Structure 1
Amino acid sequence: MVIKICGLSTPATLDAAIAAGADMVGFVRFPRSPRHLGLERGRELSEFARGRVSRVLLVVDPTDAELDEAIEALAPEILQLHGRETPERVAEIRARTGRPVMKALGIAEAADLARAADYAGVVDRLILDAKPPRGAVLPGGNGLSFDWSLLDGLDPRLDVMLSGGLDPANVAEAIGQTRVRAVDVSSGVEARPGEKDPDKIRAFIEAARAAFAQQDRTAS
Structure 2
Amino acid sequence: MRSERVKEAGAAMSLEVKICGLSEPRTLDAALDAGADVVGLVSFPKSPRHVSVEQAATLAARARGRARVALLTVDATDNLIAELVAATMADILQLHGQESPERVRALRLIFGREVWKAVPIGEAADVALAQPYWDVADRVLFDARPPAGASLPGGNGVAFDWRLLADLDPKQSFVLSGGLTPDSVVEAVQTTRARAVDVSSGVERGPGVKDPDLIAAFVTRARSAAVSSSQR
Please indicate the TM-score interval, normalised by the length of the shorter structure.
Answer: over 0.9
Distance in 1 between the 2:171 and 2:193 partners? 13
Distance in 2 between the 1:124 and 1:215 partners? 23
Q: How does 1:122-133 map to 2 (within 5 A)?
A: 122-133=136-147
The answer on whether the counterparts of 2:19 and 2:199 sit within 8 Å (CA) in structure 1 is yes
Distance in 2 between the 1:12 and 1:38 partners? 17
The answer on whether the counterparts of 2:96 and 2:154 sit within 8 Å (CA) in structure 1 is yes
TM-score (ref. length: structure 2): 0.92
Instruction: Quote how far apart the aligned CAs of 1:163 are.
Output: 0.3
The residue aligned with 1:28 is: 42
RMSD across aligned positions (CA): 0.9
Q: How does 1:68-79 map to 2 (within 5 A)?
A: 68-79=82-93
1:119 aligns with 2:133: yes
Distance in 1 between the 2:169 and 2:231 partners? 23
Q: Which moved more, 1:39-48 or 1:155-164?
A: 155-164
The answer on whether the counterparts of 2:144 and 2:158 sit within 8 Å (CA) in structure 1 is yes
Instruction: Quote how far apart the aligned CAs of 1:117 are.
Output: 1.2
Alignment counterpart, residue 106 of structure 1, candidates 120, 123, 129: 120
Distance in 2 between the 1:84 and 1:193 partners? 24
Segments of structure 1 that go 5 or more residues without pairing to the other structure are none
**After superposition, what is the alpha-carbon deviation per residue over 1:100-149, rounded to whole angstroms, capped at 9, x for unaligned?**
10010100012211011111111101110001012211000000000111
The residue aligned with 1:56 is: 70
Segments of structure 2 that go 5 or more residues without pairing to the other structure are 1-14
Distance in 2 between the 1:62 and 1:36 partners? 13
Runs of 4+ in structure 1 deviating by more than 3 angstroms, as ranges, are none
Supply the AA of the counterpart residue of 2:81: L
Alignment counterpart, residue 185 of structure 1, candidates 176, 199, 209: 199
The answer on whether the counterparts of 2:162 and 2:188 sit within 8 Å (CA) in structure 1 is yes
Q: Which moved more, 1:187-196 or 1:147-156?
A: 147-156
**After superposition, what is the alpha-carbon deviation per residue over 1:171-207, rounded to whole angstroms, capped at 9, x for unaligned?**
0011111111111000000011111000000000010
Q: How does 1:1-220 map to 2 (within 5 A)?
A: 1-218=15-232
TM-score (ref. length: structure 1): 0.97
Distance in 2 between the 1:138 and 1:96 partners? 26
Q: Percent identity?
A: 55
Aligned length in residues:
218
Instruction: Quote how far apart the aligned CAs of 1:156 are.
Output: 3.7
Q: Which moved more, 1:152-161 or 1:48-57?
A: 152-161
The answer on whether the counterparts of 2:144 and 2:159 sit within 8 Å (CA) in structure 1 is yes
Distance in 2 between the 1:125 and 1:83 partners? 15
